[in-house]
Each structure stands twice: as C-alpha cells, then as structure tokens.
Structure 1
Amino acid sequence: MRMRSATEDDRAMARALANMRYAACTSDDLDFLRSRVVNSSPHAPKLNDVRFRDVSIITAWNAEKDVFNELGCQRFAHDTNQELVSFYSCDVLAPADSPSNKKKRRRPKKKGNKSTYGIPERTQASIWAALPCFTGHVAGRLDLCKGMPVMIRSNIATELCMTKGQEAVVYDWVASQGDQKQRILDVLFVKLVNPPKTIKIDGLEENVVPLSKQMERVECLLRNDSTIVVERHQVPVLLNFAMTDYAAQGKTRPNNVVNLTHSKTHQAYYTALSRSSSAEGTAIVSSFTPSKITSGLDVQLKREFRNLELLNEITRLRYESVLPDEVLGDTRNSIIKSYLDWRGKGYEMPGLHSALRWAETESASDEFEVPFGRQKWQFASKEGAVAEPGTVAGVKRRQSNGVADGRSAKVSRPAIGETVVTTALRTPAPLGYEWDDQNWSCPYDSLFTILRAVWVGDPARWTPYFKSISPVATELASHWAAHLQGSMAWAETRDAARKSLHEQNPAAFPVGMKPASVSELASAVLTRAPLATRERKCVSCGDMSHRTLALSQCNTLYTTNLLRGRSREMFNTSDWLTEILKGTARAVRCTKCKSQTSPVVHTHCIPDLLCLDRQSAPLVISPHLTYDGCTMLLRGIVYWGENHFTCRVVDATGMVHRHDGIVDGDRCVQETSLDRVDPITLGSVPSSGTGERQAVLLLYEKTNRGTL
C-alpha cells in the first residue's frame, strides 16, 4: 500500500494490512475492514459512486472476472449512449505437432459455408461464445465501444509501454470482414492509462498506440468438456472491468474495488487490498471470511518471515559497521545462528512483529543448527520409510570398478527407485494400461506401455516402421491412432492386439488367469530379424565355420563366452553390444587344426528399435548405446518379481516414469530424468512387498542425435 494521505482511516488500514500479512488481524482490524464493505449503510462505500463507477474489480477467479467484464461492457455502453460492436476472432484448426505437418501447413479448401477451415459452424459458434478463461485468455468475441477500458494481454513493445497488464481505453479501430462474414479487428488503437512514460507516435495523439492481431495456439474447452486446439488470430486485449489478484500485483490504485469471496488465503486478501493508496478509495464487494486473516501463520512460513527480518537487521548493522567480526557464516542459517549466539539467549529483535516472535517453548537458535541448504533429505516413497543416518535414502554406492557410461560423472546421481519430491515443472506422463484381474495382462501392460510411449512421440515415423516389423505391431499402431481420434477405448487397444496373439498361439498367449512370457511377447511383436551374423576363420588353415546369428532385433544377452578366462569385471549393455558387433569376444580353437580362430562379424543394420532380454545376464543397464556413429537411447525397462511384470518408461524428453498396472492403473508416475540416473539403480525396482523386481527386458531406440 502506497498511502498518499494520513487520515485516521489510512492509519487503520495500514495497521490492518501489516497484521494481515501475517494472518494476525485484530478485532479492530476486522471492524475497519467491515466498514469498507459495500452495503446500504450511509457511511459505506457505494459502487455507483463516480469514483468507483468504471474501476476494475480485483477478484480471485478468472470465470468471475469474465462475467464481470460481460456485465461491465453492457453497462458502460448504456451509460455512454453507445452501441457495442462485436469483433470476432479468426480460428483455424491447429495442425498436428509433427515436423512434416509444420512444414506443410495449408488451408483446406472451403466448401460453401459449412466450416471455417475445418471447424463446423456449430462448433465455431460455441468457441466464439466461450468465456476467455476457457480459451487461454484470448477472446473469441470482443464487444467494444470507444472509451471502454481494456487491458493489453501480451508484451508487444516494451519500449512503447505496450506490455502485458498495461491498462488502456479504446480509442479507435480498423476492421474488416472475415471468412464467415464476421467482423474482425485488423488494428485496435488504444490510449494508455498512466503509462510509465509518455508515448508519442507520429500521426497519433499522446499515449495512443496501435495493436494488431496476433496468432495464438489456443486450447478451447467446450461445453461438453471436450477440447479443441485452434490457431486464433485476435488482437491481444481483454475488457478491464475486472482483473484477477494475480494480474493486479504491482499496481497502485487510488480507487480499489475488491471481491474477496473466493480468495483462499491471507496472502490473496493482502494482495488485493494492498493495491489501495487510501482507505477512502477502498471498496470490498460482498463480505469476507475473518478466519482467513486471523488464524496465524504455519510454522515454516512464520520462520521464513522471521529469517528475512533477521537478515535485514544483520545487513543494517553491517552497513553501519557495528556488527562484530564474530558474526559470520557462509549460508543464511549459519550467519543467523552466529548473530543470535552473539545477541545471547532471550534476544528480542526490536520492531519484530508480535506474530513472528518466538514462543516461550521455542529456542531461537535451535532451528539453525543445520546450515541452510545442507539439510539431510530423502526420497519420498513409502510412508514411514526413514533414511539411514548420514546417507541419502535410495542412493546406492557406485561400484568401485565403475560402469563405462558413468565413469566420468563427478556428482552423485539420485536413484530412481523412489519418487523425488520437487517443485519442478513436470512433463505430461505417458499413458499406461490398467491390470486386468480377470485376464492377467501384466506382460502386455508393460511392453505395450513402453511401445506406445515410443510411437506417440512421432507417429509419422513409427507407424510405417511398426507396419514393417510384424502384424501385431501394425495392429497396435492402428489402434493407438484410433484411440487418439476418440474412436477406440484405451483398454481395447491392448485387448484387441492380445486377442490376435491368442489366435496365433494360444499356448504362448493364453487368456484368463494364466501367466505369459514377456520375452515371447517381445519376439512376436518385434520379431527376431537378423541384424548381424558371425563367422570364424582359422588363422592357420583358413577354414571358415558356419555362419551363426550374432544379433537380432529381439536379442537375448549371453555373456559366458565374453567373460570366459577374464576377470569378473562389471559389464554393461554398451560393452556387450560393442563386443558382439566388433567381434572382439575371446576366440576359440579351430575344430580341424586346433589353431586360433578369428571372429568375423557382418553387421547388416542397426534397427530403429532394439530389444534385449536381460534375464540370462544381469548386466548393468546403459542409458545409451553407441556403435559405429549410431546412438541408441534407452526407452523402457520391463521388470519381473513376485509373479508380476512392471515397467519403467523413458519419454521423448528424457524423463523416467514408472508403471505398475495394479498400483497405478492407467497412470505412469514420473520419477526423474534419465541423465540424472545412476545406471546401477536401473537394474531393479522396489516391489509392493519386501523384495525387488529385476529388469528382464530392455528397449532401445535409435536416434539421430549422435553420441551422448
């Protein structure tokens, strides 16, 4: 609050705001706030007063804001004896996100007046009628007249004060006719209200600036709860008879009308009311809930406010050169603890708000024993789990002999066995399949969840590839496309492919409460097409042995020959692939002359998808495989244990998600990013019981990003 006067009411409001900041308002504060509620009392503020007539109402909900704006524009037109002019957006169905579609964006031919670039007339009318809060705050219809208050919704030109949140009034416009004969805005001229500086553009009055229409990709929510994504061309403004408390931040308003009905916390109350520059200019629409501003702070927020006040005091004393040298520290908590130790027990900081003072049962210095930023932490996985003292829960010590992919790492990576609690933004999780308890489905759930995450990342690439490898893969790609179009239920995409597999091989793929092998399933979906073959040539007699399979698309890991006669060093899947394809495995003797033979490997191709069966050789799982300039990225792992299959999925952004059809249903739970994973921890995953499930199947995708 920036007060411009000092009446008794202004001082009462300043006290109320100071207490409201800490949710510690007194009965006097509540009495004052009630005096600013709009009602029929002679001394209460009235919304029909001239000073409040066209003031934007601060409210909590976007839907409320949009309704206030609708009512406000009708009243404004009536008050000024003008007619509202409706301007509509130009909407085009947004193309798919694939690169090929982005390069070939063409408008479909119009057929009469049945659609606007593919949008049916009825749907288009529904989109135009939707409130801006349902269309990404880009208006489908703007009802305007001259002098009407508006707010700019985009950072167009900061040097001309045309920024998001800048208030203005309509000055004039240039309009034209759209493809459906609707009126559209080409340019809207607005006059800025209280800009930071005076703006003068040649040919226009002071503070008058032009706003042209922009294209925004908008997800529109329709009345039936379905969504449609369009490319909307519209001038980036909204009516300004109301704004949210979020948009009001940073503004100082001589006349401040607020609606606190749906404000959730004392911070929201404070944000809205502290915009006022005077008590007389404050009006509260309807009533408010006193408990939200009188119940006090929670412990952590109280501590944060108190720490900030202590840091201010320390900074002031240091600036004034009165802080002794013994008060020092390299972190926030350590320097505060040093300061409190210097002040002594029972220190009360002058000017500290009563709501922030330590209780009699609290010790001022105890909360600062651990330096800020160095607290012990652990992954949040199971309720009641406690990390061992001095360790980070869930992180396993790296093997001393190392792993090729992790040797250069200089920092410890968190294990992904458990969920990391973080405030970081999350990427959308892939879809998973819910377990069918009548027809046991866990092998299908696990493998199909991984394959679908691969396919959905680039359907234009993977659909032809799936068609080339097997009939089952072809069917899966077709079902997933149908699901995206809304013509097939999610569970049916799995069940239909499973039915086809059962018809082909009832013994391997039974129905009912019978188990199936995920290795057999992978072989049926991905096939065992030969990718590399091996021959052995005798260095003495030149005899060539029969050609044998060295690598297939769905391959089983065997390491007996690789490790025979060698130390039991830690191998990983990257080492294994190099040994197989380069033919560097230990040679065997010729069957004729008993001389050494030299292995010769013929590599036919590296597939777009490579599946490795890990059951026979528990090698460390490499996040990336590299051979002859080709890089393959880990996209999924299937785990087995306690008679149940689960999986981990790596999405296109590199985020790792876990999925258990019994526990998680059709959700995949995000864990961490692949580049932060210790490869050793990928080999197992905690089960719902007391043991672990072991990785049995790995899926890698060939990328064009080079060596990682």
Structure 2
Amino acid sequence: MGRWGLVGADKPKETRKKKEDIPSNATGRKRKQSTGDVDDPSPVKRLKTLNKPPPKGIAWDADNYSCAYDALFTCLLNIWLDHDSLWTVRFGTVGIRMKRLAEGFTKITNKTGTLENARDQVRHEITAVYPDQFPVGPEFTVLDNLTQVMFKEKFWGTRTSKCTKCGHIAHVEADFLCTKELVKDELLQSRYKSDYSLSHWLMSGKIAATKSFCHNCHSHLTDFVTPTEAPPILYFNVHDNNIKLDHELRVTVKGVPITYMLRGVIYSGGNHFTCRVVRESGEIWYHDGIVTGAKLLSEGNLHSKLPKFLNTCIKDDYCRLVAAAIYACSA
C-alpha cells in the first residue's frame, strides 16, 4: 500500500514575533501577522538564484475577470519552465486541458504566442463546455470548479474495501485523483497540535473505516486507498488555515518512494486570487495579476520562513488566506 510521509524539517532558525493584528477581509476575523525571515540561503542556493531568470506571471484580464486562471496557471507555468520538454509530456498525462496548457506554454518559448493567449485558449475551451460555471465578462470564477476540470480526468490508484479480520475483499474501484479536498479535522489537529501538517492529514485519509459489513464474518470493512501510478502534480484545495504546508511530501508507489516538492500556493480573499510560486531551489515569488502583472516579486527563500508563513498572504494591509497548495513530482 502507498504511504505518505513528512520529509525534511520546516522549523526556522529564528522567530520574530509581531504584536499587531491585521484584519482579514476574507474571513471577517482578525489574524496575527506572521512573517519573519532569518538567515539568507546558502551560497550554493544564491548562485543558483543568480544563474536563473526570474519566474514569469500572467497579467489579469480586466474585461473577462481571470484571477482564478492567472493564479493557477502562473504556478503551473513556473513548474513547466524548469524542464519544459519533460513537463509537456507530464501535463499531457493529466488530461486534455493540461495538454492544451502545455501547448500554449510551448508557443511562448517559440515566440508564437503569449502567456495570456495560452490562458485564454484553455479558458475558451472550458467555457464552451461549461458556460454556466465558467462565464466570461466581469464575472467571478470558482477556483475549485476550475481545478476539477483541469485535474480530474484520470485516476492514479484504487480504493479497496477489505475486512481486516478475515481478509475478504468486498470491492475494488478506481480512486486517487491528483486533486484532493483538504478538509478540517479537529481530532487530528488536537493530536498533533502545532506540528499538525498536510502529511498528517494525508496519512489519516489513506485508511478509513466504513459502515459496510463483511459478508463472511460481519465485521466492519475498511477502505484502503493505494496509488498505482505517480501523478506528476498533487493539488490540494485547502479548507483549513491552521494546517502547516510541508515543504516536501513522499508517496510510495509499488515500492518506489516518490518525492513531491511544494511549488505553489494560491490565496483567496476579497473576490480575488493571488499566488506564491516556489522554485526548485526554495525561492518564493509573489504574483498578483492585477498589481504585478507579468512580473513576480521576490520574497526570499522557503527554508528561512516561519512554518505558518505560507498560510496567509499580507499585502498592503490586506490579508488573504491559503486556498490551495500545489506539489510537483521531483523525479
């Protein structure tokens, strides 16, 4: 069975606390501002940073509100840019719309298209199929709906209903999508307290008791979710702002451990989406299609931040909360 686990340490070297509270228009509650950089990255990481061009972003379309697309596609773009040939193939394995997006990105490198063209092509195809869910004009798009049509075309594993007492297998069906709903779990949070992280939530969801009974011994059946292939992308719709986002995740597929690195975080609030891009070296870059346009703003290195730095995004005294996290296969 596939196993999830935490890789590496997310604890910072120092902590700088701030007393001021900043109102969050996204929730109507006050949240404590939590930033705090510590030491700069190592000389090796700084060298890699200098040798690599800044990441790219997608500018907002004021005529056809596009922030949901801009945030998601900007994160995916900067994964693709690392190894474009490899990720063109990988995007294609996820589904037809990811394949279309990779084709649009390729036109950028060939100088036959723009980032906005790549976004609009995929957007128009989605709207043609689902006009009510994905309207054009000054209308808002639900991010969760967008990720469903982008990522939910293929199952990467199975769900097996099995009796742990007598070993009877009652049912096997396709399961393990590369997008998951990360819901709040107060029991897990109370168990792990401040260390509660996405990897803890994942491990708990791999095995779950059911209300069904075994036909042989009448014991309760248990569901086991097992990945049989490694999806190139793991996308989490985050509905718990108290959970810590691991820098890396690991899943074992057919005995082989596969590492996934955090590569993007999307934020919501005030009817707008923004994002942070995380590069392979750990560099963090902020993007807001309205404010920064095609550019991204450097925010230091992931490994020098407080554990909960990524849970909120505070810009111009406005706080947005984490809405999604994107992990990419590093193999």
Please tell me the TM-score bracket, short chain as reference.
0.7 to 0.9
Pick from 318, 324, 331: which aligns with 1:697? Answer: 324
Q: Work out whether residues 241 and 311 of structure 2, in 8 Å CA contact, stay in contact via their aligned partners in 1.
A: no
Secondary structure of 1:457's counterpart equals helix
Provide the residue aligned with 1:653 in structure 2. Answer: 281
Secondary structure of 2:14's counterpart equals coil
What is the TM-score with the length of structure 2 in the denominator? 0.77
Question: For residues 491 and 703 of structure 1, do their structure 2 counterparts lie closer, same or farther at Cα, with a shift above 3 Å needed?
Answer: same
Pick from 447, 457, 463: which aligns with 2:82? Answer: 457
Distance (Å, rounded) in 1 between the aligned partners of 2:131 and 2:95:
18
Give RMSD over aligned pairs.
Answer: 3.3
Provide the residue aligned with 1:619 in structure 2. Answer: 243
Q: Work out whether residues 244 and 311 of structure 2, in 8 Å CA contact, stay in contact via their aligned partners in 1.
A: yes
Shift of 1:568: 6.3
Distance (Å, rounded) in 2 between the aligned partners of 1:537 and 1:607:
25
Shift of 1:665: 1.3
Shift of 1:533: 2.7
Shift of 1:468: 2.7
Q: Deviation digits for residues 501-547 of structure 1, max 9, x if unmatched?
A: 21121112110010001222122222242223333333456664544
Provide the residue aligned with 1:608 in structure 2. Answer: 232
Shift of 1:600: 3.1
Please list, as runs of the form range in 1=range in 2, the aligned pairs for 1:205-220 lying within 5 A after superposition: none
AA partner of residue 229 (structure 2): C
Distance (Å, rounded) in 1 between the aligned partners of 2:144 and 2:14:
33
Of structures 1 and 2, the larger Rg is shown by 1
Provide the residue aligned with 2:308 in structure 1. Answer: 680
Q: Work out whether residues 7 and 250 of structure 2, in 8 Å CA contact, stay in contact via their aligned partners in 1.
A: no
The structure that is strand-richer by fraction is: 2
AA partner of residue 59 (structure 2): E
Please list, as runs of the form range in 1=range in 2, the aligned pairs for 1:245-284 lying within 5 A after superposition: none
Shift of 1:680: 1.5
Question: For residues 588 and 568 of structure 1, do their structure 2 counterparts lie closer, same or farther at Cα, with a shift above 3 Å needed?
Answer: farther
Provide the residue aligned with 1:551 in structure 2. Answer: 176
Please list, as runs of the form range in 1=range in 2, the aligned pairs for 1:84-99 lying within 5 A after superposition: none
Distance (Å, rounded) in 2 between the aligned partners of 1:638 and 1:439:
20
Secondary structure of 1:661's counterpart equals coil
AA partner of residue 602 (structure 1): T
Provide the residue aligned with 1:575 in structure 2. Answer: 200
Shift of 1:475: 1.9
1:412 and 2:37 equivalent?
Answer: no
AA partner of residue 132 (structure 2): A
Distance (Å, rounded) in 2 between the aligned partners of 1:571 and 1:531:
26
Pick from 130, 149, 158: which aligns with 1:524? Answer: 149
Q: Work out whether residues 614 and 695 of structure 1, in 8 Å CA contact, stay in contact via their aligned partners in 2.
A: yes
Shift of 1:611: 0.9
Relative contact order (alpha carbons < 8 A, sep ≥ 6): 1 or 2 greater?
A: 2
Secondary structure of 2:133's counterpart equals coil
Distance (Å, rounded) in 2 between the aligned partners of 1:408 and 1:455:
25
Shift of 1:577: 2.6
Please list, as runs of the form range in 1=range in 2, the aligned pairs for 1:316-395 lying within 5 A after superposition: none
Distance (Å, rounded) in 2 between the aligned partners of 1:566 and 1:413:
23
AA partner of residue 497 (structure 1): V
Q: Deviation digits for residues 401-421 of structure 1, max 9, x if unmatched?
A: xxx667684722689958999
Q: Work out whether residues 639 and 685 of structure 1, in 8 Å CA contact, stay in contact via their aligned partners in 2.
A: yes
Please list, as runs of the form range in 1=range in 2, the aligned pairs for 1:41-440 lying within 5 A after superposition: 409=11, 411-412=13-14, 426=50, 427-440=52-65
Distance (Å, rounded) in 1 between the aligned partners of 2:179 and 2:70:
18
Provide the residue aligned with 1:667 in structure 2. Answer: 295
Q: Deviation digits for residues 26-71 of structure 1, max 9, x if unmatched?
A: xxxxxxxxxxxxxxxxxxxxxxxxxxxxxxxxxxxxxxxxxxxxxx
AA partner of residue 13 (structure 2): V
Q: Work out whether residues 11 and 306 of structure 2, in 8 Å CA contact, stay in contact via their aligned partners in 1.
A: no
Q: Percent identity?
A: 26
Secondary structure of 1:503's counterpart equals helix
Shift of 1:643: 0.9
Shift of 1:621: 0.7
AA partner of residue 557 (structure 1): L
Please list, as runs of the form range in 1=range in 2, the aligned pairs for 1:532-543 lying within 5 A after superposition: 532-540=157-165
Q: Deviation digits for residues 279-336 of structure 1, max 9, x if unmatched?
A: xxxxxxxxxxxxxxxxxxxxxxxxxxxxxxxxxxxxxxxxxxxxxxxxxxxxxxxxxx
Q: Deviation digits for residues 125-148 of structure 1, max 9, x if unmatched?
A: xxxxxxxxxxxxxxxxxxxxxxxx
Secondary structure of 1:468's counterpart equals helix
Provide the residue aligned with 2:29 in structure 1. Answer: none
Distance (Å, rounded) in 1 between the aligned partners of 2:157 and 2:241:
20
Distance (Å, rounded) in 1 between the aligned partners of 2:134 and 2:189:
40
Distance (Å, rounded) in 2 between the aligned partners of 1:574 and 1:700:
12
Provide the residue aligned with 1:158 in structure 2. Answer: none
Pick from 256, 267, 270: which aligns with 1:639? Answer: 267
Shift of 1:638: 0.8
Distance (Å, rounded) in 1 between the aligned partners of 2:166 and 2:242:
38
Please say which of residues 632-641 and 648-657 is displaced more in the overlay.
648-657
Runs of 5+ consecutive residues of structure 1 not aligned to the other structure: 1-403
Distance (Å, rounded) in 1 between the aligned partners of 2:298 and 2:189:
42
Runs of 5+ consecutive residues of structure 2 not aligned to the other structure: 1-5, 17-32
